[in-house]
Amino acid sequence: MALVDKILSRRSVRRYEKRALPQDVLDKILEAGRQAPTASNRQAWHFIVITDADVKTVLSQKEVSPYSPFIKDAPIAIVGCAWIGDDEYNQRWGTIYSIIDTIIALQNMVIAAWAMGVGSCWVGVQGVPIEDKVRQLLNVPSEWKIMAVITFGYPAEQSLPRKKKSLEEIVSYNTFKKGHALESQG
Ligand SMILES: Cc1cc2nc3c(=O)[nH]c(=O)nc-3n(C[C@H](O)[C@H](O)[C@H](O)COP(=O)(O)O)c2cc1C
């Protein structure tokens, strides 16, 4: 299957087979992140691979990640962290590019995984108090923003496609489409 068809067929997968990901498959997923583009090639990111059953159990608790009890049973999870330290680079641009970079890397991993038959699901861990709880659990220093937890494993379910907005609703050419609003969200 062509890569574009892989991208088009991707769905979030929340139930996984028990078998572990072989190390070479995991390494390729991580490598796909490593090769992602970064502003100024700064690579100001860090990825934590969670394999420990106890850590996964705590991560999947309601108070830590309310919508992702499935973390517990995922063979692995990867946590992406972006450097947000108050350095000259971050001050110069008035924005924190590492946040964009880290998200691109994580999605590269999701696509690479899917191309190898490995399913995944993003888990948002932003905001108070969730991010702080994940930070404490994983010893993430305050100069690093935790962007997401993503679970990975061989699918034990065939996820149904979610309804997506049409291109007409989300694309305009040359200028922002007037009157475009988010009321059709859902
Ligand atoms: C930033 C982000 C956070 C998400 N958090 C969760 C989550 O906490 N629990 C969950 O089950 N799915 C989560 N998802 C997955 C979305 O629900 C899913 O991507 C969306 O419903 C579209 O389905 P699809 O990925 O199969 O196209 C998250 C996705 C993103 C991008």
The answer to the question of residue 8 being in a domain is yes
pLDDT for 186: 46
pLDDT for 184: 52
Query: Measured at the alpha carbon of residue 5, what is the angle toward residues 123 and 124, in degrees to the nearest 5?
Result: 5
CATH number for the domain harbouring residue 154: 3.40.109.10
**Domain with 147 in it:** 3-161
65 CA → ligand 1 middle, Å:
12
The answer to the question of residue 166 being in a domain is no
Q: Which of 72, 64, 78 is nearest to 152 (CA)?
A: 78
For residue range 7-40, what is the model confidence (pLDDT) as tens digits? Answer: 999 999 999 999 999 999 999 999 999 999 999 9
63 versus 120: the higher-pLDDT residue is 120
* Whole-number Å distance between alpha carbons of 87 and 143: 10
Could you tell me which residues come within 8 angstroms of residue 52 by beta carbon, excluding any fewer than 6 positions away?
none
The answer to the question of residue 153 being in a domain is yes
Q: Which atom of ligand 1 is nearest to the CA of 123?
A: 5
Task: End-to-end CA distance of the chain: give it in Å, rounded.
Answer: 31
> Is the pLDDT assigned to residue 179 strictly greater than 90?
no
Look up tokens 């100001």; give the residue. 44
168 CA → ligand 1 middle, Å:
23
* Whole-number Å distance between alpha carbons of 16 and 23: 17
The answer to the question of residue 116 being in a domain is yes
Residue 159 beta carbon below 6 angstroms from any ligand 1 atom: yes
87 CA → ligand 1 middle, Å:
32
Residue 102 beta carbon below 6 angstroms from any ligand 1 atom: no
The answer to the question of residue 32 being in a domain is yes
Is the entire prediction scored with pTM above 0.85? yes
User: With the C-alpha atoms ordered 12, 18, 22, 26, is the resulting torsion angle positive or negative?
Assistant: positive
For residue range 48-62, what is the model confidence (pLDDT) as tens digits? Answer: 999 999 999 999 999
For residue range 80-131, what is the model confidence (pLDDT) as tens digits? Answer: 999 999 999 999 988 999 999 999 999 999 999 999 999 999 999 998 899 9
Among protein residues, the one whose CA lies closest to atom 18 of ligand 1: 12
Among protein residues, the one whose CA lies closest to atom 7 of ligand 1: 123
Could you tell me which residues come within 8 angstroms of residue 10 by beta carbon, excluding any fewer than 6 positions away?
110, 111, 114
Mean per-residue pLDDT over the chain, rounded: 95
Cis upstream peptide for 37 (omega within 30°): no
> Is the pLDDT assigned to residue 76 strictly greater than 60?
yes
pLDDT for 65: 87
Which helix (H) or strand (E) covers residue 138, if one does? helix 130-138
Q: How confident is the model at residue 183 (pLDDT cuts 50, 70, 90)?
A: low
The answer to the question of residue 174 being in a domain is no
- What are residue 49's phi and psi, to 5 degrees? -95, 120
Q: How many domains does the structure of the chain reveal? A: 1
76 CA → ligand 1 middle, Å:
17
Q: What does the pLDDT average to over 138-160?
A: 97
Contact 71, 60 (CB under 8 A): yes
Among protein residues, the one whose CA lies closest to atom 1 of ligand 1: 124
Among protein residues, the one whose CA lies closest to atom 30 of ligand 1: 122
89 CA → ligand 1 middle, Å:
31
Burial 100-131 (b: 16+ CB within 10 A, else e): ebbbbbbbbbbbbbbbbebbbbbbebeeeebb
Q: Which atom of ligand 1 is nearest to the CA of 11?
A: 26
